[in-house]
Structure 1
């Protein structure tokens, strides 16, 4: 008699790429795991065995089924995004692969309440994104951001800032409102063009950002339109202007 299978459920910009790394409702844009049974039928004996015993067999057939530690998955993610020029050169297959690795890393986050963690404070450099608003693939290369793009967050003041370096030097600041332990609402307040001209943001310039993975070195976030962002910490002492 076959064993019963019990499924277990494995869940701005005027001419600028500066955004909060969340998709906005505003036109002013600055920018497997798979179901696996808890019981596994052994064909030779006809007996049911636990999935724990079957895991080595599954892992030998499907290498991705083998449990990996956080550092290994982080390295896989960094290696996957390294040749993609922040995502500009990513094909749909590249994006799918990066997203799959990111999902695996998100499950291993050492911090659950990422919004309130002190590890989130400071300046982060954008390594990879799927956001077309930031990447601007349709533009000639000379009209895309050439230098690093940063995002800074301070959770004690609930302030955030995006900074674009060469050649545009645009900035935007925002107020944050926690929605959960991992998600914030973002309300932009001031855009600064070329680091000189300040423009008050319209009321509709807002979005949401979920911090899905966080440690001392790396952060993974997802915007409310599904865009993925991978960032590395560069200055934990940086303070966003009030």
Structure 2
């Protein structure tokens, strides 16, 4: 079983990586990933994932999702309508989960213009619902420059917004996600509408 599991993981990670977060997936690739994910879920070595949140803790990179996010989008869409309507190009998506204060943070890296890099964050707090489900209360969204040498005023200018436009805002809604596979470096999640998320640990 170990070799079967290892081979399934290797194939899923390889195919998922090639999709560039799902932006380059096709119906055929989508079905391949779904089949691999279902096979791994049957072999899940962590029977009750939410009882082992120390395995979830840390920073994870999203390799693939069926959420439907577009590469070219806006800060407004990434922030549930709270931040300015600035067009950005998504370059990476990460998730950080910490036991301390049950933090649950989604981070979307993006570029705007020719070379300005930024990070949009959606911060929440998780609550364990049952053996695999996490309820997430989303509390805040924000955006900042990814470059330490770029001050807020210059970053605003690069975004094309004035000093009155919000760079952060409170949120007040909830969602949920099921952890359907978990080991030391791979996590599969299924959320609302059964969207599939394939994540690998980065630290």
Same fold (TM over 0.5): yes
**CA distance, structure 1, for counterparts of residue 42 and residue 60 of structure 2:** 21
**CA distance, structure 1, for counterparts of residue 110 and residue 89 of structure 2:** 9
Structure 2 gaps, min length 5: 75-86, 112-117, 146-151, 153-166
Contact 2:123 2:141 in 1 (8 A): yes
SS of the residue corresponding to residue 166 of structure 1 reads strand
**CA distance, structure 1, for counterparts of residue 2 and residue 56 of structure 2:** 27
Contact 1:116 1:155 in 2 (8 A): no
Aligned residue among 70, 74, 79 for 1:136? 70
Residue aligning to 1:194: 144
Residue aligning to 2:200: 232
Residue aligning to 2:159: none
Give the TM-score, by structure 2 length.
0.73
Contact 2:72 2:90 in 1 (8 A): no
**CA distance, structure 2, for counterparts of residue 71 and residue 230 of structure 1:** 15
- Residues 198-223 of structure 1 show CA distances to partners (whole Å, capped at 9, x for unaligned) of 2000x3x2211011111111111111
Give the TM-score, by structure 1 length.
0.62
Kindly name which structure, 1 or 2, has the bigger radius of gyration based on alpha carbons. 1
SS of the residue corresponding to residue 162 of structure 1 reads strand
What are the within-5 Å matches in structure 2 for residues 1-12 of structure 1? Answer: none
Structure number with higher helix proportion: 2
Which segments of structure 1 move beyond 3 Å, counting only runs of 4 or more? 137-140
Matched positions, count: 164
Residue aligning to 2:106: 162
Change over 3 Å in CA distance of 1:115–1:139 after alignment to 2:
same
Give me the CA root mean square deviation: 2.3
Question: Is 2:133 the counterpart of 1:183?
Answer: yes
Structure number with higher strand proportion: 2
Contact 2:72 2:89 in 1 (8 A): no
SS of the residue corresponding to residue 150 of structure 1 reads strand
Contact 1:115 1:155 in 2 (8 A): no
SS of the residue corresponding to residue 115 of structure 1 reads helix
Q: CA deviation at 1:156?
A: 5.0
**CA distance, structure 2, for counterparts of residue 187 and residue 208 of structure 1:** 9
Contact 2:73 2:90 in 1 (8 A): no
Structure 1 gaps, min length 5: 1-65, 236-242
